[in-house]
Amino acid sequence: MNTLELSQLQSQSQTYAQRLDGQRVVIIGGTSGIGLSAAIQARALGAHVVIVGRDAETAQRLAEQHGFEGWRAGDVRSAADIERALTDIPHVDHLVLLAGTFVAGKIREADIGHLQGAFDERIWAAVHAIRALGDRLDKHGSVTLISGVLADRPNAYGTAVLAAASAAMEAFARGLALELAPLRLNTLSPG
């Protein structure tokens, strides 16, 4: 990276930092992968970050290691866990839902409960989180959901249900954007 590119990147970061200074970002699925990377970047841009992960010990360690405002633990498939994790957070500017496992299994062979997890970890987790936050989710803030390349390009390796859940996230976000306006809805599609 040359000096000009580095300078431009730093300038962009400073612009974004001004937009995140003092704002609270809650990242469900913030203890690994894209979620942890997003949490680290949001913190670097001045946000007060709260991460939510499945394992309490991991969430606490990462929050302390990266200087996050806080951490919570819970299973995104459980409405009660999500409610408990979010209940004492007074105000949220940006909610990011990046939790979800790679749910694969052929329709004729896989356990139905396992396949249902694709929707539970995505659609229903988002519904439960948004409902749990209620009016504490700033109407001028944002919600970021995760989809995936399978929504547009499923494969023959047991990913039909995950492809459907990924596509559903995109449709869900479009409908939710209308329902929750002026709250901004985004869907990321990694891959």
The answer to whether residue 126 sits within a structural domain is: yes
- The SS3 of residue 71 is strand
Instruction: State how many domains the chain has.
Output: 1
Residues in Cβ contact with 71 at an 8 Å cutoff, skipping those fewer than 6 apart:
50, 51, 52, 53, 56, 59, 60, 62, 63
Residue 5 lies in a domain: no
Q: What is the pLDDT of residue 12?
A: 57
Cβ–Cβ under 8 Å, residues 126 and 97: yes
Is there a domain that residue 3 lies in? no
Domain membership of residue 64 (yes or no) is yes
Would you say residue 11 lies in a domain?
no
Residue 53 lies in a domain: yes
Q: Which domain holds residue 48?
A: 21-188
- DSSP 3-state of 157: coil
Confidence of residue 13 (pLDDT cuts 50, 70, 90): low
Confidence of residue 8 (pLDDT cuts 50, 70, 90): low
Confirm whether 8 is domain-assigned. Answer: no
CA angle (175, 173, 166) in 5-degree steps: 125
CATH assignment at residue 111 = 3.40.50.720
String of DSSP letters for 133-154: HGGGEEEEEEEEEE--GGGTS-
Which phi and psi (to 5°) does residue 177 adopt?
-60, -40
- Position 16 in a domain: no
Interval 138-152: pLDDT, tens: 999 999 999 989 888
Helix (H, G, I), strand (E, B) or coil at 50: strand
pTM, entire model: 0.88
pLDDT of residue 16: 46
